[in-house]
Chain A
Amino acid sequence: MPELKHGFKIDTAKCVGRMHCMRACPTHAIRVKDGKAHLIPELCIDCGSCLGVCPSKAISATTITLAELDRFKFKVAVASPALFTQFGLGDTPAQVGRALLDLGFDAVWEYAVDIELVDRAITDCVKKWPGPFPLISDSCPVIVRLIQVAYPSMVEQIIPIEVPREIAGREVKRRYSQELGLRPEEIAAIYITPCQAKSISILQPAEESKSYLDGAVGISEIYNDVLYRLRKSTAKLKSDTQEGLMDSGELFHWGNPEGEFPNLSREHYLPLIGLTDIIKVFDDIERGRLTNIEFLECHACQGGCNGGNLTIENLYVARSKNLHLKANMPKPPLEFEREVARRYGSEDFSLRGSVKPRSLAKDVVDLRARVMRRKRAEEILKGLPLLNCGLCGAPSCKDHADDVALARSEISDCVFLSKARIDLLRKIYKKGPRASKG
């Protein structure tokens, strides 16, 4: 397996080891040894739960900056529908699009078409699928990675259809290389992303293919620049030249937590949001329940992509903006329908490559050795206090026992087993009531 890349980095200089991230991580992928947080890469699913909880702001998303795009001859923005929910009620998607052009993009992609295409491809796939059910959406990279790590037996239920952003990337390259006579690698297809998870899915797709997109810029990265341009008189901005489908309300439904699949019957289709709830439902699926549901649309973030960790606007405000946009959604123009029909007939939407379970055992040992290791971990756990205090540097006593059995840690890291550990921690965390007294 190639080295796993992740969507954020921990700045060890800023990290003071307060363990918020370790406690927030749903897959127990973080350890805080010697006062510094670090990651166990094979367990991380890029959900970003750690990002928001760090009191020292030591964890940041690795997206790209606009300056990095200068090496391309033609830059195209593929904007997540979540972007359009971030500004005022009066700011139309077309105005936001124009601000992107002013920011330096050469074109803003009519992403609604790709969303509609994938919507259809999903509907067709669900109808023809022989089972097992339910199929699970692949648009949220956190969900795909959660399945790879924690629900390996469900990988075959990830819908084998490309996500809309990839379909967009492919068409961006095709269209503009043809129109402008450029080589595909001279054209940048850049996704404007609500989360670092999608940027990592571009850097390293779970299905082990190569992304059609060239990178992702976080919404938070461009937010101020866009807002500034929206508040300036828009008349002065470069170009009302790009006339197109940007006003079409079809732009929005993918980012909605209850993203609609008009052709799937309500009772066989379930939208799910929030990792905690999704984990509960996945547990049930793994036990063989819920087979009467055909398709689950899953978004890891509470509130769906409008609440992604690189968005700025308060989720509820964003949601109200989303509803507002939907309510005022114009009927899709004729050329939208025509474009969808044209492309649907000529493109292949099936997922390139396949998603496989992530192998968690770093060393390859046989079953007998793995059983021995498990028994050892159980023995070790019996000697631990089950307080899950985290002072050993693992999020729970069980994790510490597993770490020791895997030779990732020393059993004496538990403060109940070694005074040396307490002394060390005292040195590392020397601030606090004791110090302030003196």
Chain B
Amino acid sequence: MAAELLRESFQIQGRNFDKAGEISSEIKVILKDLDIDAACLRRVVIVAFEAEMNVVMYADRGTLTLILTDQDICLDVKDEGPGIPDIDLAMKEGYSTASDEMREMGFGFGMGLPNMKKNSDDFCIESAVGKGTSVFARVRLDSHA
């Protein structure tokens, strides 16, 4: 059984592009402070950033929880928002419902969810339309992608 070492939660404000990316930056600082292996850090930061951005772009509000154990780093992201009607479709590379405005800011390539999956050792996503979405990703400390 993995022993939990650290757990921290962060609130994400939906539709607030000013602060977008701050939480994943903070997570990077924490993991760097802890001298986490560079490859592992990178994967976690990518997953955290894409998850954070999806909440910012599509949901009303959300929480990102970072859980560090002696074996892995997990990100648990839950939001209140419109939810995703067809998860298989949303997971496809290039599928996006981003607005023109978001595309102008350099988002909306439909790569976020696929990248999150690619960069984690375990990944699951659940969603209830009209309620919200939850994403759970696990990156092993000894993973070398």
Contacts and interface: CB of A to CB of B under 8 A. Distances in A.
Interface of A: 150, 152-155, 283, 286-289, 357, 359-361, 367-368, 370-371, 374-375, 377, 402
Interface in B100-128: 106, 115, 119
Contact of B50 (A150, A153, A288, A402): A288
Contacts of A289: 49, 106
Contact of B35 (A286, A370, A377): A370
B70 A288 contact: no
Interface string B1-18: 000011000000000000
B125 to A, nearest CB: 18
Contacts of A153: 38-39, 41-42, 45
Given A286-B28, A287-B49, A367 B42 contact: no
Which of A286, A359, A360 is packed against the most chain B CB atoms within 10 Å?
Answer: A286
Nearest to A284: B21
A377 B29 CA distance: 13
Contacts of A377: 33
A289 B112 CA distance: 10
B19 interface: no
Interface residues of B, number: 25
Nearest to B47: A288
A283 B68 contact: no
B5 A286 contact: no
Nearest to B28: A286
B11 to A, nearest CB: 18
Nearest to A359: B35
Given A152-B41, A153-B41, A283-B25, A288 B34 contact: no
A359 to B, nearest CB: 7
Given A153-B45, A155-B38, A374-B6, 4 more contacts: A152-B41, A153-B39, A153-B41, A288-B46
Interface of B: 5-6, 21, 24-25, 28, 30, 32-35, 38-39, 41-42, 45-46, 49-50, 68, 70, 106, 115, 119, 141
A360 B25 CA distance: 19
Contact of A360 (B24, B30, B35, B42): B35
A152 B106 contact: no
B56 to A, nearest CB: 13
B21 A361 contact: no
Contacts of A368: 5, 70
Contacts of A286: 28, 42, 45
B16 to A, nearest CB: 17
Given A152-B32, A152-B41, A371-B68, A287 B46 contact: yes
26 contacts: A152-B32, A152-B38, A152-B41, A153-B38, A153-B41, A153-B45, A283-B21, A286-B28, A287-B21, A287-B45, A287-B49, A288-B49, A288-B50, A288-B115, A288-B119, A289-B49, A360-B35, A367-B5, A367-B70, A371-B5, A371-B6, A371-B68, A374-B30, A374-B33, A374-B34, A377-B33
